[in-house]
Structure 1
Amino acid sequence: MTQPLAPGSVIGIFGGGQLGRMLAMAGAGLGFDIHVYDPDRDCPAGRVATRICAAPWDDMGAVQSFAARCDAVTFEWENVPAAALDAAQSRTPVRPGRKSLELTQDRLTEKTFIRDAGGGTVEFAEVGSLAELETAVEKIGRPCILKTRRFGYDGKGQAVIRDETDLAAAWAEIGENPAILEAFAPFQRELSIVAARTLTGEVAAYPLAENDHSGGILRVSKAPALVSPGLQSQALDIATAIGNGMEHVGVFAVELFDVDGGLVVNEIAPRVHNSGHWTMDACACSQFEQHVRAVAGWPLGPCSPHSACEMINLIGEDVVPWRALAADYSARLHLYGKRTVRPGRKMGHINRISPLPRQS
């Protein structure tokens, strides 16, 4: 199906977290009915959707029944089981498709794909045992970082290896799971580009954002990043090659290291991304609307910002002073509807917008 979905069509979302919630709200704004599939009936996205299907990921009957009610299905996180996508695909178009998941669910597969697509990466090695870890560290050198190949996010499933680190302890720290060892990148700053690709292969991207992380969690994004036109062009070329290589439909993000004025790819997110939240208040078309447009086969919206923005994540107890945040006229407050505050949990974000800097 390549015909655009008409308003009133049903778009399904696999996953009911905050990204699904903001996708559902954007989709409703374009006139679509949004159905959400998530094991938790009380998930944040389900409470703003037209319909919630609460069932396990391995219930293929429920997945197929859900998909049969939808004109297209998308997802808000990359750990949706591939079998669920296959089951949904038998009933309705799934956008993006299985290839985007397969390439990004496994860090080793992802890094190899990035390298083969022409994106620069740090040196890396496959690790399947303590002996292989010892060999890889000897080859790559210290410091380096050990990451599980699957199911890691926000700093989980990772162990930094420094001069004093005991390798057996690092291997135990990640649960002795299949892993990838990566060299440290001597970066000046962390950047990301959020892009969208259509059914016909058109790619459009927002300006680069500059990101600050702490404890493996994104804390602040500033956009547009102060970069040269050449660096922005290089980032777009990288995103275009990756989007085409994945045959992606929808929004995706590429996290980058700025190393001596050049870009090294850290990882890919085959979905809307935390570092793109600034687009909600600084652009005419947010990343969430952009994703819905691409999935529905609509023309992409404009990616150029009308304002500069500082996006600040509200992590755990950061959300407690919500009254003061809501009273701050300089900030746009976005809360995710999560019932319980926990350390390290993303509870919301604020966007502080300001005039774009004048071009010299």
Structure 2
Amino acid sequence: MILTPGATIGILGGGQLGRMLATAAAELGLSVHIYCPDTDPPAAAVAAGTTIAPYEDAEALARFAAAVDVVTYEFENVPVSAVEGLGDRVRPGPRALEVAQDRLTEKAFLAECGLPVAPHRGVSSPEEIAGALTDLGGVGILKTRRMGYDGKGQVRLVPGVDVARAFASIGEVPAIVEALVPFDAETSTVLARGADGRTAAYTAPANEHSEGILRRSTVPGPLTAGLEAEAQRLTADVAEALGYVGVLAIEWFVTGDPANPLVANEMAPRVHNTGHWTQDAAVTSQFENHIRAIAGWPLGSTARTADAVMLNLIGHDADDWQRHLDTAGAKLHLYGKRDTRPGRKMGHVNVLSRGVDFRAGG
């Protein structure tokens, strides 16, 4: 399936990723129709059409499918059943969602693909949490198996922790305990895979998180040329195993251990926050390459055109948006969200060229 200009892409989800995908599609002469259950989604402001309905509404999904030529999704918590009901026009397919929606399944799948992962145990009771903690050396992270993102649905476990309270804090749902991985840096591989199976990867950035939320990505990042190539190879193996079409991201811990220098943290079957710098510092952005891939078009160059720092604007960081207009080399991207809340991603700034000292509030 190869789309022609004037075709319509359907996107499940209406957040900022859908918004930036819609903008990239429009620049290629393609229309976008958004489907999401939320009223006033950010992506609707730049989409040609919008359907507001639950993902479980089969009739609304059928009407949506009839109005578009191909379907993609902008986040991984779309119900798999909704994607399966749309048939083979969904790119990437439902298997990627199945894997990414369950942390235990994801760990097993990544390991099967040859990626090193942290030691872990599946748990469903305080007793199992206590046993897992003992097995894993007395410290770890308790995470819900499903629906966690940006640090939500997880709690750190230390010796003497009240495991019943920890389990209650995540809603007493099936979970996973992961061993803590000592690391020197965090990075990610953002890779596009076309319908023809060809791949193209972006420079891996240095990623900085606070309270589980990405704050900053910097390119060039922490990887040597050899490790960069290995991370790209492993990510391509994951994409191949999934029969993936679109942009895929793998987050990594860089350990400094010569025997095991990279440990996979998680997979995201979509465009990724750590790839936002590509909008202004790569020949082809991750958003354009995702659209190219699902349209059946050749991928664009992922070559980096500048050094860059991407800074997320979280919550009220965005209130001071005007000062970023005066920052040398800065490109401001706001998501059009009406309500500002702590921890909510409101926009980001890409600052180009080497040597720019750019800190929130500075």
TM (norm. structure 2) is 0.95
Residues 300-359 of structure 1 show CA distances to partners (whole Å, capped at 9, x for unaligned) of 000110101000000001000112222334311000000010000000000000059xxx
Quote the residue 1:234 is aligned against.
Answer: 230
- In the alignment, is the contact (CA less than 8 A) between 1:195 and 1:251 conserved in 2? yes
- In the alignment, is the contact (CA less than 8 A) between 2:185 and 2:222 conserved in 1? no
Percent of counterpart pairs with the same letter? Answer: 49
Corresponding residue SS for 1:350: strand
Amino acid of the structure 2 residue aligned with 1:71: D
Corresponding residue SS for 2:34: strand
Quote the residue 2:8 is aligned against.
Answer: 10
Quote the residue 1:44 is aligned against.
Answer: 42
Quote the residue 2:205 is aligned against.
Answer: 209
| 1-structure distance, mates of 2:131, 2:53 | 44
Residues 12-53 of structure 1 show CA distances to partners (whole Å, capped at 9, x for unaligned) of 000000000000000000000100001124100011100001
In the TM superposition, residue 201 of structure 1 has moved relative to its aligned partner by 1.4
Q: Is 1:243 aligned to 2:239, yes or no? A: yes
- In the alignment, is the contact (CA less than 8 A) between 1:41 and 1:52 conserved in 2? no
- In the alignment, is the contact (CA less than 8 A) between 2:3 and 2:296 conserved in 1? yes
165-174 or 214-223, which deviates more: 165-174
Q: Is 1:99 aligned to 2:98, yes or no? A: no
| 2-structure distance, mates of 1:131, 1:329 | 55
| 2-structure distance, mates of 1:206, 1:189 | 18
Quote the residue 2:161 is aligned against.
Answer: 165
Q: Is 1:55 aligned to 2:53, yes or no? A: yes
Quote the residue 2:107 is aligned against.
Answer: 111
Q: Is 1:304 aligned to 2:297, yes or no? A: no
Quote the residue 2:174 is aligned against.
Answer: 178
- In the alignment, is the contact (CA less than 8 A) between 1:41 and 1:53 conserved in 2? no
Amino acid of the structure 2 residue aligned with 1:208: A
Query: Structure 1, unaligned stretches of length 5 or more?
Result: none
Amino acid of the structure 1 residue aligned with 2:54: P
| 2-structure distance, mates of 1:253, 1:337 | 25
Quote the residue 2:345 is aligned against.
Answer: 346
- In the alignment, is the contact (CA less than 8 A) between 1:103 and 1:246 conserved in 2? no
- In the alignment, is the contact (CA less than 8 A) between 2:328 and 2:351 conserved in 1? no
Q: Is 1:286 aligned to 2:285, yes or no? A: yes
Task: Give the RMSD, CA atoms, in angstroms.
Answer: 1.3
In the TM superposition, residue 235 of structure 1 has moved relative to its aligned partner by 0.5
Residues 250-286 of structure 1 show CA distances to partners (whole Å, capped at 9, x for unaligned) of 0010000001151100000000000000000001110
Query: Structure 2, unaligned stretches of length 5 or more?
Result: 356-362
| 2-structure distance, mates of 1:65, 1:176 | 38
Corresponding residue SS for 1:64: helix
Amino acid of the structure 1 residue aligned with 2:59: G
TM (norm. structure 1) is 0.96
Quote the residue 1:337 is aligned against.
Answer: 336
| 1-structure distance, mates of 2:39, 2:315 | 22
Residues 61-119 of structure 1 show CA distances to partners (whole Å, capped at 9, x for unaligned) of 10111011111000000000011102222xx6000001100011000000000111100
Q: Is 1:220 aligned to 2:216, yes or no? A: yes
